[in-house]
Amino acid sequence: MTKSEHHHITILGSTGSIGCSTLDVIAQLGGRERFVVEALTGNGNIALLCQQARAVGARMAVTADESRYLELKSALTGSGIAVAAGESGLQEAAAREAEWVMAAIVGTAGLAPTLTAARRGADIALANKECLVSAGALFVEAVSQGGGRLIPVDSEHSAIFQALEEDQRHAVERIILTASGGPFRTWSRDDMAGVTAEVARAHPNWSMGLKISIGSASMFNKALEMIEAKHLFGVAPDQIEVIVHPQSIIHSMVGYTDGSVLAQLGAPDMRTAIGYALTYPERPVLNVERLDFARLARLDFEAPDEARFPALRLARTALTRGGLQGAAMNAAEETAFDAFVDGRLGFLDMADIAETVMERMIDWPAAADMNDVFAGDAAARRFALEAIGTRAAA
Ligand code: NAD
Ligand code: MG
C-alpha cells in the first residue's frame, strides 16, 4: 500500500453536495473492498446519514444537531455503528484514526473539527475554504505541524495544484482563478437588487450546496477563493487574478515567468477534483463526462466587474490589509447570507454588511492563535447582526 492509497477515511459533511460526490467517488474506486470509512458526519438529514453509514459500513455516524441524537441512535440501533452528536461528536469523528479526511462541512462550523483532524496528522482534502479564509496561516501551520498533507478540492485550487510544477514555484508569476460569473453575470445592479434566494441559487453550470450557489451569484465565493489561494499557494495579493469564463471548462491557470500559462480543463464535476485529492499523486479512473472539444467549439473570457460585484474588491482589500480582515469578511458574509436566505436582507446588502464589518475591524491585528480567530469570528458576527438590524430599522 502506498501513502497515496488512502484506505482509512472520514468525511466531515458527508450528506452535502461534496460529501455525496465523495461517496460516489469512493464507490467508483472500489467501495468497501478498498476503503474503511471511519466516520461520516451530517446535520439535519438523518435519513441520508443513516443510509450512507449503512451502505459503506461506517464505524461512526455523527449529527451536528444535538436535538437529533435520539433519532440517529434509534435509526442505527443494532447496526454496530457508533453514534454521537453536537460539537463534541464532530470532534470525536475528526479525532478517529482516518489517514484521509474530507473537510466538506459548509462554513466556519467546519473549522474546529478540521483542525482536530489536521493536528493529529491526517491528510486533509479541503473543500471547506472557510478554514483558510478565517484562520489562514494558522490553519496551514496546523496541517504542517501535524505532518499531513493539505490537498485542495475546490475546483479552481485543484486546477492550480495540478498546474503548479513543484520544482518551479519560484517561476510562478501569477495564478488566474476562473469564475463562471454565476446566474447574474450580465445583470445590472438594479436587476439584482430584488432577487430572492430561490432565484440566486440557480447556478448555470454547477450543482452545489445553497451557500456556495448563492456565493457564486454574488461572487462572494470567488472572493473567498482569492484568499484561499493566497494561503494555499503562498502568492502575493497582486499575483492573484480573476477572469470570468462562463463555460466553467478551464478550472484555473498558472502563469510562469516565461510567458507560459498552464491550465486544467474538465467538465464541471467536482468528482474529478475529489478523486485527485483521494489518490494523489496518482490519477484515478473515474466515470465522469469527457470533454468533447468539437462540440464545445469556444471558450469565452471577460474581465470581472467589481462595481457590480463588490465582493471581489472586498477580497482584494482583505488580502492587502491582512490582520483579521479575512475572518471578518467571512463571518460577516455568513451572517448576512443567513439573513438573505431568511428574507431579512437584500441580495446587494450582503456586500455592504461585509464591508461595514471589515471597516469596523480594520485595526484588529492578525490572529496569534486559534482563540484569536474564534474571538474575531464571534465579534464579526455580532457586528454584522448589528448592521443588519440597523438596516432593517431604517
Ligand atoms: P452543502 O450545504 O451541500 O453540505 C454541507 C454539509 O455540512 C452537510 O453534510 C451538512 O449536514 C453539514 N453541515 C451544515 N451545517 C453544519 C453545522 N453547523 N455543523 C456541522 N455540519 C454542518 O455544502 P457543499 O456545497 O457540499 O459545500 C461544502 C463545502 O465545500 C463548502 O465550504 C463549500 O464552499 C465547499 N465547496 C463546495 C463545492 C460544491 O460543488 N458543492 C465546490 C467547491 C467547494
Ligand atoms: Mg470553487
> Domain of 384: which CATH number?
1.10.1740.10
Parallel, antiparallel, or unpaired: how do β-strands 261-265 and 250-256 relate? antiparallel
> Are residue 116 and residue 188 in the same domain, yes or no?
no
194 is a domain residue = yes
| Same domain assignment for residues 123 and 172 | no
User: Quick one: pLDDT at residue 367?
Assistant: 98
Single residue among 306, 337, 361 that ends a domain in this structure: 306
Percent of the chain with pLDDT over 70: 98
Do both 389 and 336 map to the same domain? Answer: yes
Q: Are residues 19 and 137 in the same domain?
A: yes
pLDDT at 6: 59
- The CATH number of residue 57's host domain is 3.40.50.720
Strand partners, 239: none
Q: Where among 278, 306, 334 does a domain terminate?
A: 306
Judge whether 342 lies within some domain. yes
Measured in angstroms, how far is the CA atom of residue 168 from the centroid of ligand 1? 33
What local confidence, expressed as pLDDT, does residue 393 receive? 79
Shortest-distance Cα residue to atom 43 of ligand 1: 154
- Ligand 2 centroid–CA 182 distance in Å is 12
Residue 273 belongs to some domain of the structure: no
Q: Is residue 313 part of a domain?
A: no
Report CA(16)–ligand 1 centroid distance (Å): 5
Query: Which segments of the chain are extended strands (E)?
Result: 8-12, 36-42, 60-63, 82-85, 100-103, 123-126, 150-152, 172-179, 240-244, 250-256, 261-265
What the block records as the C-alpha cell of 297 is 467549439
CB 140 within 8 A of CB 231: yes
Domain count, the chain: 3
d(CA 101, CA 97): 10
Residues 257-268: pLDDT tens digits?
Answer: 999 999 999 999
| Residue nearest (by alpha carbon) to ligand 1 atom 4 | 16
271 alpha carbon, closest ligand: 1
CA atoms within a 13 Å half-sphere pointing along the CA-CB vector of 35:
29
Note whether 160 and 206 are same-domain residues.
Answer: yes
Q: Tens of pLDDT along 63-96?
A: 999 999 999 999 999 999 999 999 999 999 999 9
pLDDT score at 46: 98
Q: How far, in Å, from the CA of 383 to the mean position of ligand 1? A: 24
Q: Are residues 144 and 161 in the same domain?
A: no
Ligand 1 neighbours by CB, cut-off 6 Å: 13-19, 42-43, 64, 104-106, 109, 127-130, 154, 206, 208-212, 270
Nearest-CA residue for atom 36 of ligand 1 = 127
In the chain, which stretches have pLDDT less than 50? 1-4
Same domain? 146 vs 24: yes
In a domain, 282, yes or no: no
- Do 13 and 120 share a domain, yes or no? yes
Strand partners, 255: 174, 261
Q: Which of 224, 212, 244 is nearest to 354 (CA)?
A: 224
Residue 75 lies in a domain: yes
Read off the pTM: 0.97
Kindly give the number of the ligand 1 atom that is closest to the alpha carbon of 43.
Answer: 11
pLDDT given for residue 221 in this prediction: 98
CA distance 116 to 96: 10
- Domain span including residue 241: 155-267+290-306
Does residue 281 sit within a domain?
A: no
> Does 67 lie in the same domain as 49?
yes
Q: How far is the CA of 17 from the centre of ligand 1 (A)?
A: 7
Q: Which of 306, 331, 358 is the last residue of a domain?
A: 306
Q: In the numeric block, which cell numbers belong to residue 177?
A: 482563478
Give the pairing of strands 82-85 and 150-152: unpaired
Of all ligands present, the nearest one to the C-alpha of 203 is: 1
Rounded to the nearest angstrom, the distance between the alpha carbon of 132 and the centre of ligand 1 is 15
Rounded distance from Cα 156 to ligand 2 centre (Å)? 5
User: Which ligand is nearest to the Cα of residue 248, counting in written order?
Assistant: 2
Co-location of 45 and 180 in the same domain: no
Q: How far apart are the first and last CA of the chain?
A: 63
In this structure, the answer to whether residues 260 and 350 fall within a common structural domain is no
Ligand 1 atom nearest 206 alpha carbon:
40
Which of 10, 212, 225, 330 to mutate to test ligand 1, by most ligand atoms within 8 A of the CB atom? 212
Q: Whose CA is nearest to atom 42 of ligand 1?
A: 154
| Nearest protein Cα to ligand 1, atom 17 | 109
Residue nearest atom 9 of ligand 1, based on CA coordinates = 13
Kindly give the distance from the C-alpha atom of residue 276 to the centroid of ligand 1, in angstroms, as a whole number. 19
Task: Give yes or no: residues 61 and 137 share one domain.
Answer: yes
